[in-house]
Amino acid sequence: MSSQVAPVEAHDHHDIRPIRKAAMWVFLGSECMFFGSMIATFLLYRNDTADGPGSEIFDIPFTSASSFVLLMSSLTMVLAHNSFEKRDGRGTRIWLAATALLGITFLAGQIYEFTEFVHKGLTLSTSPFGSSFFMLTGFHGAHVALGVVMLLAMVFLSLDGRLHEERGLNVELVGLYWHFVDIVWIVIFTVVYLLQV
Amino acid sequence: MAQTAHRSHPTPAMYWGIALFLAVVTALEVAVPYISALDPVRVPLLLIMGAIKFGTVVAFFMHLRYDKKLYRTLFLFGAIGVIPLFLVVLLTMNAL
């Protein structure tokens, strides 16, 4: 097991890290548009419940706890990146695993919440409110799930000392993706949950 | 070769402090809907607190405050572009 991360060749003549990072920021900018259009759709149909359940079934204390978990996963992610920059392989692995665990906890909470809503009569096809709510939060959940897969992949790669900054999965890029997932939830939690109760 | 000036990244202790700040803002956010005296200012208050959290994560955890201006421009193009998107969608559907 390697306790060090792979060396960084900062002055490589063919260093494409800035290009990859710029590409990631372009991707995240486009994701803003993607989630923005879904949030706009939710706002459009938030009152169209077709006599089915509406925002009154939201469990704010429970969702607040989930939000807190995701928010703290941003802390563990940035600590993982910090450890990676210090070539601390063990620290990187611990914080990456902690981030993945918090992500899994958030997803478990979302599955529980969705199950509760279905039991209360709110499904994807109940009403425009239900469709727009499940599409928005479901797509966000899918992004979290993808992030968890990338985090776990990095944990396993680092065990073999195969976590490189120059190629493949990159702690900084995955970190940017993970923080983005967090900021999207900050908006969803405010607009979809807190402003509707 | 021209180099972009970089400020040094926060220390782990500062990251913990930022997380504590975010946790406090979240707690205040959750409390707002339950305080009836704040009902007249509930919407702007929640939007401002959400924006503070959003900005804090982007600036400090995503290091946009410390990174190249190009990255900031690329991201803000999408993040600010959402506002006209919102307005077009909601105005077109008479939802504002």
One domain, residues B18 and B50: yes
Residue A136: the pLDDT is 97
Distance in Å, alpha carbon of B69 to nearest chain A alpha carbon: 11
Please indicate, yes or no, whether residues B80 and B96 belong to a single structural domain of this protein: yes
Q: B49 lies in which domain range?
A: 11-65
Tell me, yes or no, whether B29 and B18 share the same domain.
Answer: yes
**Residue B3 within any structural domain of the chain:** no
Is residue B1 in some structural domain?
no
Which CATH number is A120's domain given? 1.20.120.80
Residue type, B39: D
Non-local CB neighbours of B33 within 8 Å, separated by 6+ positions:
A60, A194, A197, B42, B46
Domain co-membership, B76 together with B59: no
- Domain assignment present for B15: yes
Distance of alpha carbon B56 from the chain centroid: 6
Q: Residues B35-45: what's their mean pLDDT?
A: 93
Residue A6 lies in a domain: no
Name the minimum distance, in Å, from the CA of A78 to any CA of chain B: 6
B24 to chain A, minimum CA–CA distance in Å? 10
* B61 and B74 assigned to the same domain: no
C-alpha dihedral, A92 to A93 to A95 to A97, nearest 10°: 160
pLDDT, position B2: 40
- Is B89 within the bounds of a domain? yes
Q: What is the largest CA-CA distance in chain A?
A: 64
Residue at A54 is within a domain? no
Query: Does a structural domain hold residue A1?
Result: no
What is the structure's pLDDT at A160? 83
In tens digits, what is the pLDDT along chain A, a chain of 197 residues? 445 555 544 455 567 778 888 999 999 999 999 999 999 999 999 999 998 999 999 999 999 999 999 999 999 999 999 999 898 989 999 999 999 999 999 999 999 999 999 999 999 999 999 999 999 999 999 999 999 999 999 999 888 877 877 666 689 999 999 999 999 999 999 999 999 87
Q: Is B96 part of a structural domain of the chain?
A: yes
> Is B4 within a domain?
no
The answer to whether residue A12 is domain-embedded is no
H/E stretch holding A90 reads helix A89-119
Comparing alpha-carbon positions, the chain B residue that sits nearest to A28 is B75
Q: Which domain holds residue A190?
A: 17-44+61-194
Residue A183 within any structural domain of the chain: yes
Chain B nearest-CA residue for A184:
B54
User: Helix, strand, or coil here: B35?
Assistant: coil
Count of the separate structural domains present in chain A: 1
Contact yes or no for A79 and B15 at CB 8 A: yes
| Residue B85 placed within a domain | yes
Check whether residue B59 and residue B74 sit in a common domain.
no
- Number of structural domains chain B divides into: 2
A136 assigned to some structural domain:
yes
Per-residue confidence (pLDDT) for residue A167, from 0 to 100: 66
Instruction: Return the pLDDT at A107.
Output: 98
pLDDT score for B1? 37
Can you give the pTM of this predicted structure?
0.89
Q: Which residue has the higher pLDDT, B40 or A169?
A: B40
Model pLDDT, residue A13: 56
Calculate the average pLDDT of chain B: 88
**B50 and B87, same domain (yes or no):** no
Kindly state whether residue A56 falls inside one of the protein's structural domains. no
Q: How far apart are CA A7 and CA A25, in angstroms?
A: 24
Q: In B, which residues are within 8 Å of A179 by CB distance?
A: 57-58, 61-62
Cβ–Cβ gap B22/A18 under 8 Å: no
Q: How far is B74 from chain A (nearest CA, A)?
A: 6
Same domain, B38 and B78: no
Within a domain: residue A8? no
Mutate to test the interface with A, among B15, B28, B88, B92 (most CBs of A within 10 A): B15
Looking at the structure, tell me whether residues B58 and B72 fall in a common domain: no
Could you tell me if B50 and B89 lie in one domain?
no
- When pLDDT is cut at 50, 70 and 90, the band that residue B7 belongs to is low
In angstroms, rounded to a whole number, what is the distance separating the alpha carbons of residues A93 and B2? Answer: 35
Cβ pairs A/B, distance under 8 A: 120
| Residue B79 contacts A where some CB pair is shorter than 8 Å | yes
B71-82 average pLDDT score: 89
Picking from B24, B46, B61 by the largest number of A CB atoms within 10 A of its own CB, the best residue to mutate is B61
Contact B19 A36 (CB under 8 A): no
Q: Taking CB atoms and an 8 Å cutoff, what residues of chain B touch A74?
A: 19, 22, 57, 61
Does one domain contain both B52 and B77? no
